[in-house]
């Protein structure tokens, strides 16, 4: 193993920090503990930290201030931060994201769920070539689509269920989008299978370039992609879909794909703080139904609605 991911666990409770460090090490990560905000900042400056699991309630400066200082310092600003805390109001969660955190895990937690969050957060450092440790590797075929490098349907389903429950618990909106590239589009028919595969890769790249670190992106099927967008209302999800379409076609227009065009359809559904959590089956089912409507001739080939509980 050439290198491991080094994670800083910041918690003033030494027992909890030890348990979390030991759990991370069992899954192949290198974990180091800090017990105060100032100690966490020194650790970030002096060691090669890939990710920080940060408690809010610290004895000197709180976790929000630690995160703010990390993001303000160019030498530490790219360290992904996940808040791990018992403070879980919607205001706390929103404040954490505003400061630049990529995720939020509420206590009590279990180690496998923490590991899933850690793996998702490492997308913020996906251009680091020597990160090869962890249970769900960025190139792990069990969870990764080999053509596009995005996550696959299995990973999407597991994370969508968790995100839906979290959105309900903390009362924030979440959108789920299905996207399909038409196989018989002009580019595919004119230039053959190789060009079509290039288009699939372009769609994946557009999704990556247009998404935030904590969005969940996956290749759902041969021609279908999915995106889970926490904290995104319906209108913003529609704008996101149009941005994807523009970026894909602008890229194709600038490359050597003769007469190529990406025919894209989008199905979008948004959950708005309902009285009950929507499960992954409901969200994917509604998004897929909207995708079929879009393919059937909806305006701009986008069909979208908000769920009512």
Give the other-Cβ count within 10 Å of 275's Cβ: 7
Task: Please give the C-alpha separations between residue 81 and each of 37, 76, 122, 218, in angstroms, as whole numbers.
Answer: 13, 11, 10, 22
* pLDDT range class, residue 127, cuts 50, 70, 90: very low
- pLDDT value for 183: 66
Q: Give the start-to-end residue ranges of the domains of the chain.
A: 6-125, 153-307
* Three-point CA angle 107, 110, 111, nearest 5°: 120
Q: Using CA atoms, how far apart are residues 224 and 181, in angstroms rounded to an integer?
A: 7
47 touches 152 (CB < 8 A): no
Q: For the ranges 21-25, 54-58, 61-65, 243-247, which has the lowest average pLDDT?
A: 21-25
Q: What does the pLDDT average to over 143-154?
A: 81
If we measure between CA atoms, which residue out of 247, 192, 246, 199 comes closest to residue 225? 199
Q: Using CA atoms, how far apart are residues 169 and 278, in angstroms rounded to an integer?
A: 11
Instruction: Report the predicted TM-score, pTM, of the whole model to 2 decimal places.
Output: 0.60
If we measure between CA atoms, which residue out of 251, 231, 119, 246 comes closest to residue 176? 231
Q: Using CA atoms, how far apart are residues 108 and 305, in angstroms rounded to an integer?
A: 34
Q: What does the pLDDT average to over 23-37?
A: 88
Question: How is domain 6-125 classified at the architecture level of CATH?
Answer: 3-Layer(aba) Sandwich (3.40)
In the chain, % of residues over pLDDT 90: 43
Rg, the chain, Cα only: 20
Q: Is the pLDDT of residue 138 over 50?
A: no
- pLDDT value for 199: 83
Question: How is domain 153-307 classified at the architecture level of CATH?
Answer: 2-Layer Sandwich (3.30)
Q: Which 3 state secondary structure label does DSSP give 236? A: helix
- pLDDT value for 88: 61
* Most trustworthy range by pLDDT among 117-121, 134-138, 171-175, 225-229: 225-229
Q: For the ranges 52-56, 186-190, 302-306, which has the lowest average pLDDT?
A: 186-190
For residues 123 and 294, the model is more confident at 294
* pLDDT range class, residue 5, cuts 50, 70, 90: confident
Q: For the ranges 22-26, 181-185, 199-203, 238-242, which has the lowest average pLDDT?
A: 181-185
Average pLDDT, the chain: 82
| Phi/psi of residue 169, nearest 5 degrees | -60, -45
In terms of DSSP H, where are the helices of 36-126? 37-46, 63-72, 90-98, 111-121
């Amino acid at each position: 193993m050439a290198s491991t991911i080094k994670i800083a666990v910041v918690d003033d409770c030494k027992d909890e920090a030890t348990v979390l460090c030991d759990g991370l090490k069992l899954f192949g990560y290198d974990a180091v503990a800090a017990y105060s905000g100032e100690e966490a900042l020194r650790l970030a400056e002096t060691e090669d930290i890939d990710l920080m699991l940060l408690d809010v309630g610290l004895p000197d400066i709180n976790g929000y201030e630690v995160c703010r200082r990390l993001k303000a310092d160019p030498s530490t600003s790219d360290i992904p931060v996940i808040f791990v805390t018992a403070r879980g109001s919607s205001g706390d969660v929103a404040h954490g994201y505003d400061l630049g955190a990529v995720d939020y895990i509420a206590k009590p937690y279990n180690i496998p769920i923490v590991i899933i969050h850690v793996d998702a957060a490492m997308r913020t450092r996906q251009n680091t070539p020597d990160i090869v440790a962890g249970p769900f590797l960025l190139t792990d075929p069990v969870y990764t689509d080999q053509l596009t490098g995005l996550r696959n349907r299995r990973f999407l389903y597991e994370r969508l269920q968790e995100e839906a429950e979290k959105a309900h618990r903390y009362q924030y909106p979440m959108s789920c989008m299905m996207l399909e590239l038409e196989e018989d589009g002009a580019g595919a028919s004119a230039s053959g299978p190789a060009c079509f595969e290039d288009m699939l890769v372009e769609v994946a790249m557009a999704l990556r370039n247009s998404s935030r670190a904590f969005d969940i992106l996956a290749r759902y099927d041969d021609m279908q992609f999915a995106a889970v967008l926490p904290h995104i209302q319906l209108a913003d999800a529609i704008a996101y879909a149009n941005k994807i379409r523009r970026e894909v076609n602008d890229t194709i227009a600038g490359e050597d794909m003769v007469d190529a065009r990406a025919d894209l359809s989008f199905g979008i559904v948004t959950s708005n703080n309902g009285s009950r959590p929507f499960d992954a089956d409901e969200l994917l089912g509604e998004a897929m139904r909207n995708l079929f409507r879009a393919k059937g001739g909806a305006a701009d080939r986008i069909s979208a609605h908000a769920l009512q509980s």
